[in-house]
Amino acid sequence: MSLSGYLFCKMCTKSDKKRDEGLEIPGDVEYLRNIWYGENKKYHNLDICWPKSVEGCKIDVIKDKLPVIISVHGGGYVYGSKEVYQYYAASLAQRGFAVINFNYRLAPKYKFPAPLEDLNAVINWLLEHQEKYPLDPEKVFLVGDSAGAQIASQYGVMYSNKEYEAIMEIKVPKFTLRALGLCCGTYDLKKRALEAGGKGVMGDYLGKVLTKYDKKLDVLDYITGNYPSVYLFSATGDYLMAECKPMAELLKSKGVNCEYKIYGDEQTYHVFHVDMRNKFSREANGEQLEFFEAVME
């Protein structure tokens, strides 16, 4: 791992621990942990949660099918886990969604496109287990922040453009991706890779030789009007805030249903929405779910 990647992991570990200290999973959420979805014994596991009741009625996991949110954690491709996102996932479940919160393989040991392969495996797991858990494969949403937003947005291109799916050589299963929720992300993978020049966390993720990827890094070139609806947001104090507006403009230019919003003040930081004590987190997450609910109507 690069020195910057190592320091980034150390910083995030400390700040995330402080942020979540004292939090507990709400009592009105059913939260199941450490379910295997693949072969890697370190990374291929997920949590799933859902509300214990909807409109006062207890959830029947066999009969009741809920819209599904799959959360793709951030962490610069080198850091992050489902544990860091457990309280965020539970808060989404309280609004009437089944939420899949999963680990994926991290760089530098596992390079591009490992997270995309793992996300695809999670969706296959969803389809295989839809009768066991309250999962509706016709109402699936992806949410991601930071690097997770880039991964989720790239998967949206694979889902909506068969040409790019073939380029990526990852077979997307048949399901209905209704919308994406993208927070504090970076979206132009090729630009970021070229700027990094094989160094830092992008070097950890992609390596030093980019030519081997050919068109796989040209993600934004393959966005079409078939792309899912998007709720795109960032924060005034987010160091990636400048990435948000160009992505919104690109999506709208392609005719994609997209809402775009910047939250908070200068103290509202990167991936603020995962902080359950932040008032702007509650506002942003609530408005994102309202957008999802509107898409389902």
Q: Are strands 98-102 and 45-51 parallel, antiparallel or unpaired?
A: antiparallel
Residues β-bridged to residue 259: 231
Residue 270 in tokens: 């990167």
Nearest Cα neighbor of 270 from 183, 200, 196 is: 183
**In the chain, how many domains are there?**
1
66 to each of 54, 75, 98, 172, 277, how far by Cα in Å? 10, 28, 6, 21, 26
Residue 61: per-residue pLDDT: 87
Tell me the pLDDT band of 103, cut-offs 50, 70 and 90.
very high
- Tens-digit pLDDT profile for residues 24-65: 999 999 999 999 999 999 999 999 999 999 887 898 887 889
- Asked which of 10-19, 54-63, 249-258 is least confident by mean pLDDT, the reply is 54-63
More confident residue, 140 or 297: 140
Consecutive H or E run containing 220? none
What does the pLDDT average to over 89-103? 97
What does the pLDDT average to over 5-32? 96
Backbone angles phi, psi at 223, to 5 degrees: -75, 130
- Tens-digit pLDDT profile for residues 270-282: 999 999 999 999 9
Instruction: Report residue 182 CA to chain centroid gap.
Output: 7
Amino acid at 263: Y
Residue 57: per-residue pLDDT: 83
Whole-angstrom distance, CA of residue 142 vs CA of residue 178: 9
pLDDT at 141 over 90: yes
Whole-angstrom distance, CA of residue 17 vs CA of residue 231: 28
SS3 label, residue 66:
strand
The total number of residues written for the chain in this structure:
297
Structural domain that includes position 177: 3-296
- Tens-digit pLDDT profile for residues 163-184: 999 999 999 999 999 999 999 9
CATH of the domain at 266: 3.40.50.1820
Whole-angstrom distance, CA of residue 117 vs CA of residue 121: 6
* Residue 3 CB contacts under 8 Å (≥ 6 apart), including other chains: none
- Tens-digit pLDDT profile for residues 58-91: 988 878 899 999 999 999 999 999 999 999 999 9
